[in-house]
Amino acid sequence: MTELVPEPRSVAAATGEVRLTAHSRLHAGTGTEAVGHWLSTALRQATGLPLREARGRDDATGDGIGLRLGPALGPEEYRLVSDGNGVLIEGGAAAGVFWGAQTLRQLLGPDAYRRAPLDRDRAWSVPYLTIEDAPRFRWRGLMLDVARHFMSKEGVLRYLDLMAAHKLNVFHFHLTDDQGWRIEIKRYPRLTGTGSWRARTKTGHRASPLWEDKPHGGYYTQDDIREIVAYAAERHITVVPEIDVPGHSQAAIAAYPELGNTDVIDTTALSVWDTWGINPNVLAPTDNTLRFYEGVFEEVLGLFPSKFVHVGGDECPKDQWRSSETAQARIRELGLADEDALQSWFTGHFDTWLAERGRRLIGWDEILEGGLAEGAAVSSWRGYAGGIAAARAGHDVVMCPEQQVYLDHRQDPGPDEPVPIGWVRTLEDVYRFEPVPPELTPEEARHVLGTQANLWTEMMEDHARVDYQAFPRLVAFAEVAWSALPAPAERDFAGFERRMAAHYRRLDALGVAYRPPTGPLPWQQRPGVPGRPIDGPPPIR
């Protein structure tokens, strides 16, 4: 079972195998104890083998597993050696050891992903080999939108496990939007009391005539968030929270009407939005709004240790600001050129506020419009252009262009594709995605922190739909983010498909409701629910 994903940097095979038995022991050297605990727990569940703790590395040789730090390796780099001395995984830091442990799990076969053994008498073996491996990018992300359709805490923990299994290390947690506020803020209880649920939900694209006429909602308590963050940290995943400002904020305005442009509309008449699209109701650029969100971010910073905090910044219509005397007075007071500059001022306020507290602001590429504070980073979603402009201006960038890695977009042009949205983005399309634009010089390219796949959940009402849209394409994306692949046209997609044939069995063991290569299963289809397919290939830039 050497059909590994993501593809390692080098694999040297030899003759022979390490047989794990009831006598096998696991030794976790200094600094790897937490990885040892995770690995022994996972393997005991799947194999039924006791894998007792070894007293030292010598006590785990022959048929055992050893974990240790290797100071010559990079933090996420690892070396896995399986030979007559047993299995040894070395990493430059605990993260590297953990990624090596994920590779070991793949080597043991798909049943190593199960929660209980299928056969307690079966043999478990690892072929003799040496694997040397390290990631291409330090930001290998997945964005999950829980605002449009809420995902339970248990569902989020499951996705962290799926990320870890594919060596993804940044979980972008999209917690607020027009359709729901999903995080408890103790000083503002109405954010969840009012803002976490909506009375009904549009079914399908926003032009659809269909509705689900029942309340939808949910939120994470602060203890839930602490648990999610700790669970992620055990898997060497950083959780980056997103609190959307100044657009995508109707849920917050419904809870606290004074946050909206009260001199333009009756904000007390607003409720949590029940449909999709770009919402005209945005935050008012007032001192009250700034103080309110400073209070929100104070509690957010106490829950998330991430260096980066995402503030959204995308799709903020300026019509209300153009009609608002309060907004226009602020533009005059600050000597700003226009409403784009007003949003830049709004973003800059929180960039400074976060920097004073040792954090960094990151936002969608619209935050470039009107100017961007020096320390801010950009999530480039409207193609490559925003990322190129940001990198050339000296800003760090995460590449996540919708034309390439928006996994809510349809996977096939066939009529059975459920609620088809956007361009066709096949497994091969994602595999040939290149995060670093060739227009960048080597110096500019160093600002590309990495890449991220995005799962927007307007059309994903439950975890099975999220699985369908994410997999198997997230596997291809993970290889793009981790492996040192050649140029897109030169990539061995046939070889990747061959390895995927083995990996589907791992996904089966994990209970992932992926899209089969032959097309959606009958229960994965959504006949009669209209989407918004876009014909033709997507624009590259």
The span from the CA of 95 to the CA of 33, in Å, is 12
What is the DSSP track for 120-183?
TT--EEEEEEEEEE--S-SEEEEEEE-SSS---HHHHHHHHHHHHHTT--EEEEE-EETTEE-B
Residue 335 is classified by DSSP as T
Q: Per-residue pLDDT tens for 377-398?
A: 999 999 999 999 999 999 999 9
Please tell me the predicted confidence (pLDDT) of residue 447. Answer: 98
Average pLDDT over residues 468-495: 98
Please tell me the predicted confidence (pLDDT) of residue 517. Answer: 97
| Residue 268, SS3 per DSSP | helix
Residue 217, pLDDT above cutoff 60: yes
The span from the CA of 169 to the CA of 142, in Å, is 8
The residues that bridge with 241 in the sheet, in sequence order, are: 173
Q: Per-residue pLDDT tens for 399-458?
A: 999 999 999 999 999 999 999 999 999 999 999 999 999 999 999 999 999 999 999 999
Q: How wide is the angle at C-alpha 486 spanned by C-alphas 483 and 489, nearest 5°?
A: 125
Better pLDDT: 59 or 474: 474
| Residue 56, SS3 per DSSP | coil
Please tell me the predicted confidence (pLDDT) of residue 61. Answer: 73
Residue 201 is classified by DSSP as E
- Catalytic residue status for 177: yes
The residues that bridge with 380 in the sheet, in sequence order, are: 399
- Residue 433 structure tokens: 């995605």
Residue found under tokens 């290797």: 70
Q: Which of 299, 315, 412, 497 is catalytic?
A: 315
Please tell me the predicted confidence (pLDDT) of residue 468. Answer: 98
Please tell me the predicted confidence (pLDDT) of residue 58. Answer: 66
Q: Which of 63, 77, 177, 417 is catalytic?
A: 177
- Catalytic residue status for 216: no
Look up residue 86 and give its amino acid: G
Percent of the chain with pLDDT over 70: 99
Residue 373, pLDDT above cutoff 90: no
Average pLDDT over residues 481-487: 98
Q: What is the 3-state secondary structure (H, E, C) of 438-475?
A: CCCCHHHHCCEEEEEEEECCCCCCCHHHHHHHHCCHHH
Please tell me the predicted confidence (pLDDT) of residue 56. Answer: 73
Q: Which of 27, 172, 248, 349 is catalytic?
A: 248
Instruction: Report the b/e string of 314-340 with b at 16+ CB within 10 A.
Output: bbbebebbeebeebeebbeeeebeebb
H or E element at residue 46: helix 33-47
| Residue 202, SS3 per DSSP | strand
Residues in the chain: 541
- Which residues, in sequence order, are CB contacts of 496 under 8 Å at separation 6+? 5, 7, 431, 476, 479
Per-residue pLDDT band for 57 (boundaries 50, 70, 90) equals low
Please tell me the predicted confidence (pLDDT) of residue 60. Answer: 62
- Which residues, in sequence order, are CB contacts of 298 under 8 Å at separation 6+? none
Give, in order, the Cα–Cα distances in Å from 261 to each of 238, 321, 336, 500: 35, 8, 19, 51
Please tell me the predicted confidence (pLDDT) of residue 295. Answer: 98
Q: Per-residue pLDDT tens for 129-159?
A: 999 999 999 999 999 999 999 999 999 999 9
Q: What is the pTM (predicted TM-score) of this model?
A: 0.98
Please tell me the predicted confidence (pLDDT) of residue 91. Answer: 98
The span from the CA of 225 to the CA of 14, in Å, is 45
Q: Per-residue pLDDT tens for 492-525?
A: 999 999 999 999 999 999 999 999 999 999 999 9
Answer for the pair 237, 164: CB distance below 8 angstroms, yes or no: yes
Please tell me the predicted confidence (pLDDT) of residue 62. Answer: 79
Q: φ and ψ at 97, to 5 degrees?
A: -60, -40
H or E element at residue 477: helix 473-482
How would you classify residue 255: left for phi > 0, otherwise alpha for psi between -120 and 50, otherwise beta? Answer: alpha
- Catalytic residue status for 339: no
**Residue 481: exposed, middle, or buried by beta-carbon count in 10 A (0-12, 13-18, 19+)?**
buried
Please tell me the predicted confidence (pLDDT) of residue 2. Answer: 78
